[in-house]
């Protein structure tokens, strides 16, 4: 699943590269976000991740940090979609969308980095 996560990051980098070509940027970033949400569903179905994550008191710190960053990333996706749609309609939210975009990308990189710690064996 780390391979899929890495591929999502690479797609996001391509999307950022094409940020000035709005239609292409929109399609690439939409694909990355959809794949990321599908990856979360895949992890849930294969590992019962929500049940494990909801037991935060007994989890390792690394897992709790990873889950917090991952949830924040998904919430930021919602904000990106909201501001992106406004931008496509011609409303002036470009600066906000850019700041949110780089914040979202940073959180996605941190999600990827912490995923290695979250799945590491205890001990």
CA-CA distance, 120 to 78, in Å (whole number)?
A: 30
69-81 pLDDT, tens digit each:
999 999 999 999 9
Is residue 48 over pLDDT 80? no
Our measurement of the distance from residue 80's CA atom to the centroid of its chain's CA atoms, rounded to an integer in Å, reads 11
- Return the pLDDT at 63: 82
d(CA 113, CA 20): 28
7-23 tens-digit pLDDT: 999 999 999 999 999 99
pLDDT of the residue at 1: 83
**118 pLDDT tier (thresholds 50, 70, 90):** confident
């Amino acid at each position: 699943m780390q391979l899929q996560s890495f591929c999502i990051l690479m797609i996001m980098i391509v999307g950022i590269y094409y940020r000035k070509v709005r239609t292409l940027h929109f399609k690439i970033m939409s694909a990355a976000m959809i794949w990321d949400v599908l990856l979360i569903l895949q992890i849930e179905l294969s590992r019962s991740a929500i049940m494990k994550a909801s037991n935060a008191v007994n989890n390792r710190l690394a897992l709790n940090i990873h889950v917090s960053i991952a949830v924040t990333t998904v919430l930021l996706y919602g904000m990106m979609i909201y501001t992106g749609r406004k931008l496509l309609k011609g409303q002036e939210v470009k600066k906000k969308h850019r700041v949110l975009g780089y914040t979202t990308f940073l959180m996605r990189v941190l999600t990827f980095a912490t995923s290695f710690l979250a799945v590491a064996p205890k001990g």
